[in-house]
Amino acid sequence: MSNTARNRYSDLEIHGLEMSAHHPSGEIPVLHDITLNIPSAQVTAIVGESGSGKTMSMRGISGLLPGGGNFTVRGDVLYNGRHLAPGTNGADSETSPKFAMIFQDPKKVLNPGLRVGQHLTEVLRYASGFTGRDSRLQRIERAQEILGRVDLPTDRRFFRSFPHELSGGMQQRLVIACVVAGENDVLIADEAITALDSRTAARILDLFHDIAGNMGKTVVYISHDLKTVERIASHVAVLYAGYTVEYRNSRDFFSMPRHPYSRMLMESHPALRDRGRPLRIIPGEAVSPADPPPGCPFHPRCPRAQQTCREVLPQLIPDTGGAVRCHFPYPEKGNGEKDSTRKNSGAPGAGEQFNE
């Protein structure tokens, strides 16, 4: 991203993040250019199809990569204006943020042999300095306080429950409670509500919003579901084939996305299209970061593609509300298009693909 974009201050900034996986046959590209700003005390959503780089980009900056040293990560990461080596996770408590990830299945994270209270008090013992015999009561009191913050019971019976005795929603909130107890700076929620019923998922989303707004944590919400993104995110980043293709504040994104891929994602979502209009279908298959086509990686599926798109990779260019990587983006809001995406009168018929 250009210097103009860099001047927009943000607590966590990522510039030109690249990643490759080591393989006997050679280096396999995983990420090409992930660039975005993640404000503190807000929820930033990262969206895109499977394989676009959503999870790997966050693992790359946090040091939570699978397989240890099987990846090479390059790029520029800043936290509170200070440069960090990609993959730093609390290595220097003075400058490095502490990252934590919340995954889809809490049962893979919780220890089935530990009670609810033990999960929290053990985290507090190591993360918050509550050590020694005299601090046991402090740990219990703090654990009960955190349980209340995440909408879980604080009584002795619940405190002594095992994870298998809890519902899926309670298990996920217990994982979130442990993250809060660990005093992490950046919480990364990776498809964290996918396996939950709609009512429980809504409560978890409200909890993420509370963690950001009232606890002052930075929350990154990774999801395929643009409807939930619209509900809680202040900013949205769209990834495709290992590139950031659009980044902007949520209000502008949902009223006037500029990248064709962003617009197609929205108009193919049942809850975001205009009522009464058929779903649009995104043609073709998602491109792998390991084997992108020449030029813009999205051009084989893009209704606005021209010869330039097939030959020249577009740069991520800052605009009024964020940034877009496209040679021929849709005009900015109030600058050439009268209606929002959801009121586009040019919707194809049922089952029709995007074509121009």
Which tens digit of pLDDT belongs to each residue from 69-112?
Answer: 689 999 999 988 888 877 655 555 555 788 999 988 999 999 99
pLDDT surpasses 90 at 177: yes
Q: How far apart, in whole angstroms, are the C-alpha atoms of residue 69 and residue 66?
A: 8
The tokens for 183 are 């005093």
Query: Residue 124 gets which letter from DSSP?
Result: H
pLDDT surpasses 90 at 8: no
- Asked if residue 72 and residue 196 are part of one domain, the reply reads yes
pLDDT in the model for residue 347: 30
Q: Which one-letter amino acid corresponds to residue 308?
A: T
- Asked if residue 312 and residue 227 are part of one domain, the reply reads yes
- Asked if residue 88 and residue 128 are part of one domain, the reply reads no
- Asked if residue 333 and residue 251 are part of one domain, the reply reads yes
For residue 205, being part of any structural domain is answered with no
- Asked if residue 316 and residue 231 are part of one domain, the reply reads yes
Q: Exposure string (b/e) for 228-245, b if CB count within 10 Å is 16 or more?
A: bbbbbbbbbbbbbbbbbb
* Structural contact between residues 20 and 56, judged by C-beta atoms closer than 8 angstroms: no
Q: Which is more confident, 236 or 347?
A: 236
- Asked if residue 126 and residue 193 are part of one domain, the reply reads no
CATH number, domain of 296, equals 3.40.50.300
pLDDT in the model for residue 4: 36
3-state secondary structure of 355: coil
Task: Report the pLDDT averaged over residues 24-43.
Answer: 93
Strands 218-222 and 186-190: parallel
For residue 10, being part of any structural domain is answered with yes
For residue 350, being part of any structural domain is answered with no
pLDDT in the model for residue 296: 98
* Structural contact between residues 193 and 58, judged by C-beta atoms closer than 8 angstroms: no
pLDDT in the model for residue 351: 33
Q: Which is more confident, 274 or 258?
A: 258
pLDDT in the model for residue 349: 30
What confidence tier does 344 reach under pLDDT thresholds 50, 70, 90?
Answer: very low
* Structural contact between residues 75 and 16, judged by C-beta atoms closer than 8 angstroms: yes
**pLDDT tens by residue, 201-246:** 999 999 999 999 999 999 999 999 999 999 999 999 999 999 999 9
pLDDT in the model for residue 3: 40
pLDDT surpasses 60 at 186: yes
Q: How far apart, in whole angstroms, are the C-alpha atoms of residue 25 and residue 23?
A: 5
pLDDT surpasses 90 at 322: yes
- Which region holds residue 45: left if phi is over 0, alpha if psi is between -120 and 50, else beta? beta
User: For the chain, what is the domain count?
Assistant: 2
Strands 322-325 and 316-318: antiparallel
For residue 356, being part of any structural domain is answered with no
- Asked if residue 252 and residue 337 are part of one domain, the reply reads yes
**pLDDT tens by residue, 44-81:** 999 999 999 999 999 999 888 877 668 999 999 998 88
For residue 67, being part of any structural domain is answered with yes
- Asked if residue 258 and residue 140 are part of one domain, the reply reads no
* Structural contact between residues 202 and 247, judged by C-beta atoms closer than 8 angstroms: no
- Asked if residue 226 and residue 176 are part of one domain, the reply reads no
pLDDT surpasses 70 at 346: no
Q: How far apart, in whole angstroms, are the C-alpha atoms of residue 98 and residue 59?
A: 12
For residue 353, being part of any structural domain is answered with no
pLDDT surpasses 70 at 352: no
- Asked if residue 257 and residue 151 are part of one domain, the reply reads no
What confidence tier does 297 reach under pLDDT thresholds 50, 70, 90?
Answer: very high
* Continuous H helices in the chain: 3-6, 54-62, 116-127, 136-149, 156-159, 168-181, 198-213, 226-232, 250-255, 260-267, 307-311
For residue 79, being part of any structural domain is answered with yes
Q: Exposure string (b/e) for 316-328, b if CB count within 10 Å is 16 or more?
A: bbbbebbbbbbbe
Range of the domain at 44: 3-98+187-200+212-343
pLDDT in the model for residue 130: 63
- Asked if residue 264 and residue 147 are part of one domain, the reply reads no
* Structural contact between residues 282 and 268, judged by C-beta atoms closer than 8 angstroms: yes
Distances, alpha carbon 72 to alpha carbons 63, 87, 272, in Å:
11, 10, 38
pLDDT surpasses 50 at 23: yes
- Asked if residue 149 and residue 77 are part of one domain, the reply reads no
Q: Among residues 345, 331, 344, which one has the least CA distance to residue 252?
A: 331
Q: How far apart, in whole angstroms, are the C-alpha atoms of residue 303 and residue 328?
A: 11
The answer for residues whose C-beta is within 8 angstroms of residue 63's C-beta and 6 or more apart is: 87, 88, 89, 91, 99
pLDDT surpasses 70 at 7: no
For residue 355, being part of any structural domain is answered with no
Calculate what percentage of the chain has a pLDDT beyond 90: 64
pLDDT in the model for residue 2: 40
pLDDT in the model for residue 100: 92
